[in-house]
Amino acid sequence: MFVTGDLERIERKVLRGERLTREDGETLFACNELSWLGALADFVRKRLCGDEVLYNVNCHVNLTNICVSRCKFCAFGRNADDRKAYAMTLDEAIKLVAEASRDPNLVGLHIVSGLHPTWTFENYLAFVETLHAKFPALYVKGFTGVEIQHFADISGLSVEEILRRLKAAGLQAIAGGGAEILTDRVRNLLCPNKCSASQWLNVARTAHKLGLPTNASMLYGHIETLAERVEHLIKLRELQDETGGFRTFICFPFLPKNTALEGDIKQTSMFDDLKTIAISRLMLDNFPNIKAYWVMLTVPVAQVALSFGANDIDGTIHRENILHDAGATSPRALAQDDIIKLIRDAGRIPRLVTEAIK
Amino acid sequence: MKTLTSAHDKISSGGRLTADEILALYEENDLLYLAESARRVKESKTGKKVFYTVNRHVNLTNVCRANCPLCAFSCQSGSNRAFTLELADVEQVVRCQVSGVSEIHIVSALHPTKDFAYYVNAVKLVKRILPHVGINAFTPVEIVNFSQISGKSFADVLRELIDAGVTSLAGGGAEILSDRVREIICPKKCSASQWLEVMRTAHKLGLRTNASMMFGHVETIRERVEHLIKLRDLQDETGGFMAMMLFPFHPENTRLGEQFKLQRVGSWEDLKMLALARLALDNFDHFKAFWVMLTLPVAQLALSFGADDLDGTIGEEKIIHAAGAKSSAGISVDKLRKIISETGYVPTERDSFYREV
């Protein structure tokens, strides 16, 4: 290709399949050779993932938006007395999933919610038990590391015990959210009431030990430095070396609208979004999948991201709530046909999956 | 396979691509290879500079006798959307422009009753109020219309416009330069050969112009490639084209979109065609990423796919927004500069002729 110096050295390492260092990661974030970065990430993607692009037909279930954490980057969480606050009953959750199940291709649920001030762990557990019993064919992925730690805090049970009980109730995988940036400097400023970086990693480690796969994510484009993005990726890579339990990595560009940071922070550029996906693919050499989450990226960027290292485009979603409260301009759901078309137009092969076989 | 190999060889050595080679690259669908190659061509021509201009669009009227199936802007007189600026309106629009404008861009519908003098007078008025500003005005479609309504030759029409103050011609109306396609998408517009003839005549008179392609409707990929080759051939002959623009077709609110159930092509296709056209048109100096059509994020990305110009601040743009474009209707210089800087390029303000200001 067309680069010189450090970039050429990094390119040679990637082509030989060598691991990139922290310094390499920082060099990549400092460079603006976008198409070169993309082509390099695309090379790695081909080697690790082939030409298939994974997607699923899924339904997001957000049990409540009432949350004690009230993180600065969040437009979804609310106080209990807020006009738009809601908390689902079991029947309402069943109704939502029943409606989504009218699509015969529906394969899974994605359950992520606020940290409700009065709900007990048993309340959350009941949703998993009930939905799993009513819809036994659906793959149930749910709860981020933040929620799991919260359940441990409010119940007095260990993280391991919480995970065992959720698994027994029908939970099959843990969601990747809540990682934000895994440094305590950033977390203290952005989300001081949430679990710490080491707690988040501990939940993932424990889940992997119990045979519960998890996803991982990074929320970027707020107050973090580029070195902290690299730090974050390296922490995930180290844990993956240890357990092998991460399935998919997802980059979340921060959407400032309707959050406490609106006005102070501008939304990331498409340039930064694609660069970050490409660098993630290059740094996370032990992750099987990199997801371009169309809700955050918008559909056009997500499509282009397929040539910047991504091999997963998430799913149809049924109805997205969390990011649309933060001004996401993408649609709330996509038709399966639209997903198939945008993958094919990118010259790739669509493959409908559940999280189970990723 | 042999064609593809020769295409790759030419890209690394700088040779000119044939139609078959361009098609082979299209089929290969290696987006980032195209991007990287196109960006290298861009940098060989304009280095690290990315241009923008402070400009204003003026649409004189949307009342149109062509009534093309591809268009969401035009309407019949009597429609509640119809507008036609009289000279006093034009004066008002132009007078309220901020200082520092370096180009006024005038593109309009083919009004069924306004005579050629109306358009000439509009230009004279702009020239009188803003004597030092470039006037980029009228597509060949409009020039052919002026010729028809005035009985004058293309050359005479163009001379009169030059005398009135037009400094360059707009590049629109090319759509796809194939009469098969034009019969379907814009049957009452000028033919492919008329479009090219107006450009040839303009270039011979020393009037520089832009060029364009509108894709993603009923055309074949081969027709896109043939379109590019026609532009390249004319550029070889005259050297009068400054910039090329690609317009993905916006089907919303158009009869064409409804009739053929068209969807807007994806960003993949937008960027792929940009890079491919940059590689095909080796004799064009500039490629515009027209952010109104592409949206700002995709326009920014286009800078890594061979574009070297983000066009301008625009102010008022009615044609594409009538077809459901989702970009905002104007943009500040600061924002344009920031978008360029984020990509590592150097924001460079230009005038109508790509001279730095």
Q: What CATH number corresponds to the domain at position A53?
A: 3.20.20.70
Domains, in order of start, for chain B: 2-349 (3.20.20.70)
Which residues on chain B are in Cβ contact (under 8 Å) with A307?
31-32, 268
Note whether B39 contacts A274, CB cutoff 8 Å. no
Cβ-based contacts of A306 with chain B (< 8 Å): 268
Q: Which residues of chain B does A345 touch, with a Cβ-Cβ cutoff of 8 Å? A: 265-266, 268-269
List the single residue in B36, B39, B267 with the smallest CB-CB distance to A300. B267
Q: Say if residue A200's pLDDT is above 70.
A: yes
In this prediction, residue B215 carries a pLDDT of 97
Neighbouring C-beta atoms of residue B308, cutoff 10 Å: 27
Residue B13 pLDDT > 70, yes or no? yes
Nearest residue of chain B to residue A2 (CA atoms) = B36
B280: distance to nearest CA of chain A, Å? 19
CA distance B283 to B279: 10
Contacts of A344 in chain B (CB under 8 A): none
CB contact under 8 A, A34 and B339: no
For residue B317, pLDDT beyond 60: no
- pLDDT of B229-247, one tens digit each? 999 999 999 999 999 999 9
The structure's pTM equals 0.86
Give the nearest partner residue to A271 out of B31, B295, B301, using CB atoms.
B301
Contacts of A269 in chain B (CB under 8 A): 297, 300, 339, 342
> Residue B255: its pLDDT value, please?
94
- Closest-CA residue of B relative to A348 is B29
CB-nearest partner of B36 from A32, A39, A303: A39
A304–B267 C-beta distance less than 8 A = yes
Residue B210 has pLDDT above 70, yes or no: yes
Tens-place pLDDT, residues B111-136: 999 999 999 999 999 999 999 999 99
Domain that holds residue A245: 5-357
CB contact under 8 A, A304 and B301: yes
Q: Quick one: DSSP state of residue B264?
A: P
| Rounded (to 5) percent helix, strand, coil in chain B | 45, 15, 40
- Smallest CA–CA distance, residue B82 to chain A, in Å, is 31
- A36: chain B residues, CB-CB within 8 Å: 36
Q: What is the pLDDT of residues A48-74, one digit of tens each?
A: 999 999 998 889 999 999 999 988 889
The residue ranges of DSSP E strands in chain A, in sequence order, are 52-56, 58-61, 108-111, 139-142, 214-220, 246-253, 289-291, 312-315, 349-352
Best to test chain B binding among A4, A33, A34, A343 (most B CBs inside 10 Å):
A34
Phi, psi of A175 (to 5 degrees): -70, 160
Option in B267, B268, B342 nearest A271 (CB):
B342
**Among partner residues A32, A272, A307, which is closest to B32 by beta-carbon distance?**
A307
Contacts with B289 from chain A: Cβ below 8 Å: none
| From B32, B266, B344, residue closest to A38, measured CB to CB | B32
Nearby residues of A174 by Cβ (< 8 Å), 6 or more positions away: A141, A142, A143, A144, A145, A148, A163, A203, A204, A207, A212, A213, A214, A215
Determine, for residues A301 and B297 on separate chains, whether the beta-carbon distance falls below 8 Å: yes
Task: Label residue A332 by pLDDT band (50, 70, 90).
Answer: confident
| Band of residue B156 on the pLDDT scale cut at 50, 70, 90 | very high
pLDDT tops 60 at residue B186: yes
Residues of B in Cβ contact (< 8 Å) with A272? 342
Helix (H, G, I), strand (E, B) or coil at B8: helix
Q: Is the pLDDT of residue A1 over 60?
A: no
Tell me the C-alpha distance between A150 and A147, whole Å.
5
ipTM of this complex prediction, to 2 decimal places:
0.76
Residue in chain A nearest B33 by alpha carbon: A39
Of A34, A301, A306, the CB nearest to B304: A34
Name the residue in chain A with its Cα closest to that of B295.
A300
Question: Scanning every residue of chain B, which has its alpha carbon at the shortest distance from the alpha carbon of A330?
Answer: B326
The reported pLDDT for the residue numbered B97 is 67
Which residues from chain B sit within 8 angstroms of residue A2, using beta carbons?
36, 40
SS3 A74: coil
Interface mutation target, options B29, B30, B33, B36, chain A, most CBs of A under 10 Å: B36
Average pLDDT over chain A reads: 93
Which pLDDT score is estimated for B316?
A: 53
Interface touch B342/A269, C-beta < 8 Å: yes
Contact B82, B63 (CB under 8 A): yes
| Contact: A270, B31; criterion CB under 8 Å | no
Strand (E) or helix (H) holding B288: strand B286-288
Confidence (pLDDT) at B303 = 95
**Comparing C-alpha atoms, which of B220, B218, B145 is closest to residue B184?**
B218
Stretch A315-329: mean pLDDT, rounded? Answer: 77
Pair B248, B272: CB distance under 8 Å: no
Lowest mean pLDDT among A240-249, A324-333, B288-297: A324-333
What is d(CA B347, CA B227) in angstroms, rounded to the nearest whole number? 31
pLDDT tens digits along A8-49: 999 999 999 999 999 999 999 999 999 999 999 999 999 999
What's the Cα-to-Cα distance from A69 to each of A78, A117, A221, B327, rounded to whole Å?
9, 9, 20, 35
Listing from the earlier edge strand, what are the strands of the sheet with A108-111? A58-61, A108-111, A139-142
Interface test with B, best of A45, A301, A304, A338 (most B CBs within 10 A): A304
Residue B321 has pLDDT above 70, yes or no: no
Closest chain B residue to A271 measured between Cα atoms? B301
B145 pLDDT above the threshold of 90: yes
Per-residue confidence band for A260, with pLDDT thresholds at 50, 70 and 90: confident
pLDDT digits (tens, 9 = 90+) for A110-169: 999 999 999 999 999 999 999 999 999 999 999 999 999 999 999 999 999 999 999 999
Work out how many CB contacts closer than 8 A connect A with B: 74
Give the residue numbers in B contacting A (CB under 8 Å), as ranges.
29, 31-33, 35-36, 39-40, 265-271, 295, 297-298, 300-301, 304-305, 326, 339, 342-344
Please give the residue of chain A at the shortest CA–CA distance from B339.
A269
Amino acid A355: pLDDT: 59
- The tens digit of pLDDT for each residue in B261-303 reads 998 888 899 999 999 999 999 999 999 998 888 888 889 999 9
Q: What is the DSSP string of A301-342?
A: HHHHHTTTT--EEEE--S---TTGGGT--S-S---HHHHHHH
- Mean pLDDT score across all residues of chain B: 93
Of B93 and B224, the structure prediction assigns the larger pLDDT to: B224
Give the pLDDT confidence of A264-280 residue by residue, as tens digits.
888 888 899 999 999 99
Rounded CA-CA distance A305/A296 in Å is 12
Looking at the complex, report in whole angstroms how far the Cα of residue B298 sits from the nearest Cα belonging to chain A.
Answer: 7
pLDDT in tens, B335-350: 899 999 999 999 999 9
Judge: B297–A269 Cβ closer than 8 Å, yes or no. Answer: yes
Q: Which residue has the higher pLDDT, A322 or A172?
A: A172
Contact B342 A342 (CB under 8 A): no
Let me know: does B35 contact B271? Beta carbons within 8 Å: yes
Per-residue pLDDT at A318: 76
B346-349 sheet: strands from edge to edge: B55-58, B103-106, B134-137, B168-169, B208-215, B241-248, B286-288, B309-312, B49-53, B346-349
> Which residue of B36, B266, B298 is in closest CB contact with A345?
B266
Q: Which of A272, A303, A347 sits opposite B267 (nearest CB)?
A: A303
Shortest CA gap A35–chain B (Å): 6
CB B36, CB A39: distance < 8 Å: yes
Q: pLDDT value at position B328? A: 54
Q: In chain B, what is the straight-line distance between the N-terminal and C-terminal CA atoms, in Å?
A: 47
For residues B290 and B299, is the Cβ–Cβ distance under 8 A? yes
Look at residues B278, B342, B281, B275 and name the one whose alpha carbon lies nearest to residue B305. Answer: B275
For chain A, how many structural domains are there in total? 1
pLDDT at A49: 95
